[in-house]
A and B are shown apart, each in its own frame.
Chain A
């Protein structure tokens, strides 16, 4: 027999039952899968950061041998420890790819989303547990395919994380690995996003209406829709680039192309701009995939630390939905310099200005929430608070890039790098750090050490700003990105070298500071201060179950009676009322919340 009465594979179940390791490794529990995602993506983040620390050496001290580890590199990458330009390009392309596609998105959606969404909506698991497991394993394979490209002839992909043709079409074999990895990765995120949407819509606990959902769940829902609808065009684009490279087609190769002073043997007739359109159709929603879950995490932690309801919760929800919708209409603001015409530019510059409004609304709502609160300064709340100005800097410096006229000067300079790193690094990654400090007690039953956490926070904050703030200066002065020698070749960049040195030392110090964080994780898992089921006096459902949550999450299915942020309700017995607490929370009769069970 192949199947049990429900039509599920028996062979599979027997394999799982026979072996403990197999069962743990191929777990169907969303919490285990979430942790697998989190640990894997954290490793990728470290790898991506490591590549950047290497690049920073080359930028700070061009053509000087890399100290200590330089002799480990071969003649094809860094002979005698001196980095070759080709290798620098590989590092650059892979840093972007790893950080975005294998690090931040899987951590915020696969890790945090998978672990927290079912808990916060009071569900026993994700809607499709086996699909969930499958999406993790496809993601892992995709990551390994990407990494293995370092070992093939010609090395890793070296056409930038955007893989623009015609260059990417004729690049070395690593690019084929990039495309294969990308197709797998998109398949994985597709399965994951279907799962998250169905889980949120279908498995909400009784009484948990949409306007009672924690803001984090809302951001995950919008993010999942972006992953679902924006990623497939890049999948088809990757398929076409793969055809160009393997099948000899010319989807992205125009006629009459010369490479190395010789005409390229290709049929031609293709269009390189087609790739840019399809790529940015994915990659601009991708920006919001990076930032929305971070906003969700920050909102959860801030509401808890200020002991007040979020200011303008509904406004924030509508803004998140509006961001999701508008993010499909702004992609060509990455392409102002391609000569697509002023009409197109005018349209996309308008939509870009419009999409900045809801982001500012969310940021303002979070900022106004702070007013009059008695803030608990934990490491989690420090990171969450720092997110606000850091994301603010990142967002506001984006406005000149969204205007076609000023973009002509700033395009492809370090200004752009500074802008999006402020959003993703001290923005999203700070939010993810905050989330780790906040939910670690739920996962393990122990707190992370606050003293090490404070060192981690201040160290990261100072280093990140020393790295990224000078990029605005460099960019405005005209220093281009992807310059292997830090731009020294050009006279107008000569005076900027001192900033590269500062950025280099800040990046390596940032690496040291992260060791404190890793140490904190390892030590606190075993020796940290014990945490109760609800150590932060929080209201949302993940704190209403045991610590760590058992298989199936809740001993009794929870019923929700109120909104997600009932902190400091006047007249209530305590300064928080959990969502699943029936009755009126100590309020005079008639003022309490009623369950809405449809």
Chain B
């Protein structure tokens, strides 16, 4: 016995496959990781003598555009998942490429924001607010970069994997989509805490 069972087929009594369960567990740990950062936000803000109003120091328009870009990237990724589920393999790569492009645009706009803030002398050491802002957004950007690498890997491996077992590709895409939705959710919380509140 050497082959590992249930990599993409459901185990009947647990109702999941290994990859999806692994991603769920990973996301659970990510919740705890960002939970640590967000609890720092609340504890520091509660103890602060003064706290800047987000829109006064950050660019809410750029932040809003970036939110739309990131959510569209995930939507396009979802369309790729749907295409795979419908058996339309020829569309997967095109949609993945489009989604990656949008993620790159997100990182571009984020860099533009960083450049503007640094030019204005607003750096991590400026205040606790900016320490949190830079840490949270940089960690989130790292997650976006990791997601792009993931999409790139799916883009490379999906045609040969599809020929062997289409269900494996569908499962991989579905699992990756779970990750993207998590990255979206974290971004929405960051926008709410830093840009709006």
Chain A: residues with CB nearer than 8 A to chain B? Answer: 1-7, 123-125, 127-129, 190, 193-195, 197-198, 201-203, 228-237, 239-240, 243, 247-251, 266-267, 269-271, 274, 277-278, 281, 551-557, 598
Contact = CB atoms under 8 A, between A and B. Distances in A.
A247 B160 contact: no
A5 B157 CA distance: 8
Given A128-B18, A202-B14, A251-B128, 11 more contacts: A3-B161, A7-B164, A7-B169, A7-B172, A198-B18, A233-B32, A236-B37, A248-B125, A251-B44, A267-B128, A552-B2
Contacts of A198: 18, 21-22, 25
Given A274-B43, A553-B1, A2 B135 contact: no
Nearest to B26: A194
B120 interface: no
Contacts of B12: 598
Contact of A232 (B21, B32, B134): B32
B28 interface: yes
Given A197-B25, A202-B6, A271-B47, A6 B161 contact: yes
Interface string B69-112: 00000000000000000000000000000000000000000000
Contact of B35 (A128, A197, A233, A598): A233
Contacts of B161: 3, 5-7
B43 A236 contact: no
A21 to B, nearest CB: 22
Contacts of B21: 197-198, 201-202
Contact of B36 (A127, A270, A278): A278
A129 B4 CA distance: 9
B1 A124 contact: yes
B156 interface: yes
Nearest to A254: B47
Interface of B: 1-6, 11-14, 16-18, 21-22, 25-26, 28-30, 32-37, 39-40, 43-44, 47-49, 123-128, 131, 134-135, 139, 156-158, 160-161, 163-165, 168-169, 172
Given A202-B18, A202-B21, A240-B40, A269 B168 contact: no
Contacts of B139: 239
Nearest to B10: A202
Most buried by B among A190, A198, A278, A556: A198
Nearest to B156: A2
A233 B28 CA distance: 12
Contacts of A124: 1-4
A229 B22 contact: no
Nearest to A131: B22
B43 A203 contact: no
A245 to B, nearest CB: 12
Contact of B4 (A203, A235, A269): A203
B153 to A, nearest CB: 9
Nearest to B21: A198
Interface centre among A2, A123, A194, A598, by most chain B C-beta atoms within 10 angstroms, is A194
Contacts of A267: 125-128, 131
A560 B16 CA distance: 22
Q: Which 8 A-B pairs have the closest CB atoms?
A: A236-B36, A7-B157, A248-B125, A7-B161, A249-B131, A232-B33, A233-B36, A5-B164
Nearest to B44: A271
Contacts of B165: 6
B18 to A, nearest CB: 5
21 contacts: A6-B165, A6-B168, A7-B168, A125-B2, A190-B26, A194-B22, A194-B29, A198-B25, A202-B5, A202-B16, A228-B28, A228-B29, A243-B134, A243-B135, A249-B125, A249-B135, A251-B40, A269-B127, A270-B44, A270-B128, A278-B39
Contacts of B172: 7
Nearest to A237: B36
Contacts of B164: 5-7
Contacts of B160: 1, 3-5, 7
B125 to A, nearest CB: 4
Contacts of A127: 4, 18, 22
Among A7, A127, A240, the one with the most B-chain Cβ atoms within 10 Å of its Cβ is A7
A420 B147 CA distance: 42
B124 A248 contact: yes
A148 to B, nearest CB: 25
Nearest to B128: A269
A552 B124 contact: no
A193 B14 CA distance: 18
Contacts of A235: 33, 36
B94 to A, nearest CB: 19
A138 B89 CA distance: 36
Nearest to B51: A269
A206 to B, nearest CB: 10
Contacts of B17: 202
